[in-house]
Structure 1
């Protein structure tokens, strides 16, 4: 697929309310690729907010990924974008799964012990999620 076509197709995608998905040409850095940025609403997942039901919210969380599109048709492009959405959702799920009564998060993706328990590769911080 042409990068220009991929950018147009990705920029027509819609996901959950409050989410934006934007693609741009990334061929100056990596041949046949686009950068896809997701901006989405999210609750602050800090442990001290867990008992209160996570009352703090942000609309400015984001993640950015590079996707190879040179070998895609439209369905494969959409599958790759959805795969990145699933990575974001998995990341969030790992932050919010808590064990009562302490509200410990056994797989928290921002903590070394959580990364190890989940089985992340050593030193792999592949999520561009903020």
Structure 2
């Protein structure tokens, strides 16, 4: 797929309310790629806010990723974008999963111990909607 086509297709995507997804040609840096930016609503995840239910939003949260598109069709492109969304959602989940009464975050993605624990835990699990 041409990067111009990928950018156009990505600009047609919607996700959750408050999210925006934009893309730009990034071949000046990496051949056959686009840079995708996600802007999304998020709550302040500080530990001391956990007992209050995280009452305040951040000003703006965003993430940027480079995606190879030269080998994509439209479905492959959508899958790659969705995989980046899943990375963002996983990152947020790791910040907000807390253990009462201390509200410790065992997998906090901004803490060395949380990063190590996340990497060490086997991803051997079963999931599904029952």
TM-score by length of 2: 0.91
What is residue 78 of structure 2 aligned with on the other side? 78
What is residue 41 of structure 1 aligned with on the other side? 41
Q: CA deviation at 1:66?
A: 0.1
Q: CA deviation at 1:59?
A: 4.8
Q: Please identify runs of 4+ aligned residues in structure 1 that moved more than 6 A.
A: none
What is residue 101 of structure 1 aligned with on the other side? 101
Answering whether residue 57 of structure 2 is matched by residue 57 of structure 1, we say: yes
Higher relative contact order (Cα pairs below 8 Å, separated by 6+ residues): 1
Q: How many residues align?
A: 120
For 1:58 and 1:41, locate their aligned partners in 2 and report how far apart those are by CA, in whole Å: 7
What is residue 5 of structure 2 aligned with on the other side? 5
> Please, which runs of 5 or more residues in structure 1 have no aligned partner?
121-130
For 2:11 and 2:34, locate their aligned partners in 1 and report how far apart those are by CA, in whole Å: 11
Q: Which has the higher strand share?
A: 1
SS of the residue corresponding to residue 58 of structure 1 reads coil
SS of the residue corresponding to residue 52 of structure 2 reads coil
> Are residues 18 and 59 of structure 1, via their aligned partners in 2, closer, same or farther at CA, if it must alter by over 3 Å?
farther
Q: CA deviation at 1:56?
A: 1.1
SS of the residue corresponding to residue 51 of structure 1 reads helix
CA deviations on 1:28-54 (whole Å, 9 max, x unpaired) are 000000000000000010001000000
For 1:56 and 1:110, locate their aligned partners in 2 and report how far apart those are by CA, in whole Å: 19
TM-score by length of 1: 0.91
Report which of the two structures shows the higher radius of gyration computed on alpha carbons.
Answer: 2
Cα RMSD (Å): 0.9
> Please, which runs of 5 or more residues in structure 2 have no aligned partner?
121-130
What is residue 116 of structure 1 aligned with on the other side? 116
